[in-house]
Amino acid sequence: MSDATAANDQPLIFREGLLDGQVALITGGGTGIGLGIAQLLARLGAHVVVASRKAEHVESAAQSIRAAGGSASSETVDVRDAEQVQAMVARIEQAQGRIDLLVNNAAGNFYAPSESLSPNAWRSVIEIDLFGTFFCSQAVLPAMKRQGRGRIVSISMTLHYRGWPLMAHATAAKAGVDALTRTLAIEWAPYGVRMNAIAPGPIPTEGVRRAFTPPPSASGQVPDMFAVEQAMTSYAKKAIPAGRWGTPGDIANMVAFLASPAGDWITGSIFVVDGGEWLARNPAPQMQR
């Protein structure tokens, strides 16, 4: 399944028009899971704003959503930069008049041994995943306070529940995202803001395929993509009790549920959506170095 067809191909399980009139901002909404979320929210009637650093990602995503009959616009932003984030939110409020839902989905990721992880690599992942989540959440709060209602959903992970070799940077960042989710849920509940997180299991986006793909050898030999696909299939059979990889649509459906009136009394919760993968994960795997 390509990123671009991620959620549009799946049957709609919520009623049409469920999110009519709502404005949703999805960071990292131009690719992978974020794109699947943006597609579903648009199908349910929301105006979606897809935001990330690369114009080619967000513009083509917004264009494809409009071509499918949805309402979408795009923003280029680096979520590590609080001023850029605030300026983006001001533009969205001016254009759309409100912000009902923020999905903190942008993240940076790669496997790397912690003993040689550079300060820049460490800082970059922590800043995208954790600082970005905080900056975006803080920036949309005034609009949500004025509205007396708002939903924030952050995309976390499960790898920090038991530890995951070569992912010290991302696991530390997402543990922080979980902590923020619980703390801000309490602080901001009186404003009508609901703050939750979703911890996806493995979903074969392009980013994950890259992580399963060995780097080209010193002699320039290209990785065997068939072997990569086989390794991924065998991982799903062995390691995911539900027997399959996840899809962006699996995560998007949970976001839609939380954005709907059903989410009104849910805050500070972290929903694992992973086919049972983390419960069955024992012991922590030794990743190839």
Nearer to ligand NAP by Cβ, of 208 and 228: the residue is 208
Which residue in 233, 231, 105, 212 sits closest to 157, CA to CA? 105
Nearer to ligand NAP by Cβ, of 31 and 196: the residue is 31
Please give the backbone phi and psi of residue 75, each rounded to the nearest 5 degrees, phi first: -140, 135
Strand, helix or coil for residue 154: strand
Nearer to ligand NAP by Cβ, of 29 and 70: the residue is 29
Please give the backbone phi and psi of residue 52, each rounded to the nearest 5 degrees, phi first: -165, -175
Which residue in 106, 191, 95 sits closest to 150, CA to CA? 191
Could you tell me the two tokens for 222? 């290209």
Q: Which residues bind ligand NAP (CB under 6 A)?
A: 27-28, 30-34, 52-54, 57, 77-80, 105-109, 128, 155, 157, 200, 202-203, 205-208
CB of 79 to ligand NAP, least distance (A): 4
CB of 269 to ligand NAP, least distance (A): 17
CB of 219 to ligand NAP, least distance (A): 28
Please give the backbone phi and psi of residue 146, each rounded to the nearest 5 degrees, phi first: -60, -40
CB of 205 to ligand NAP, least distance (A): 4
Please identify the residue of the shown chain whose CB is closest to the bound ligand NAP: 32
Nearer to ligand NAP by Cβ, of 184 and 198: the residue is 198
Nearer to ligand NAP by Cβ, of 145 and 182: the residue is 182
Nearer to ligand NAP by Cβ, of 22 and 247: the residue is 247
Cα 212 from Cα 225, distance rounded (Å): 10
CB of 70 to ligand NAP, least distance (A): 18
Beta strands in the chain (DSSP E): 23-27, 47-52, 71-76, 101-104, 150-155, 193-200, 270-273
Residue 255: Cβ within 10 Å count = 28
Cα 67 from Cα 63, distance rounded (Å): 6
Phi-psi region of 97 (alpha: psi -120 to 50; beta: other; left: phi over 0): left
Q: Do residues 51 and 27 make contact, with C-beta atoms less than 8 angstroms apart? A: yes
Nearer to ligand NAP by Cβ, of 27 and 196: the residue is 27
CB of 122 to ligand NAP, least distance (A): 15
CB of 50 to ligand NAP, least distance (A): 8
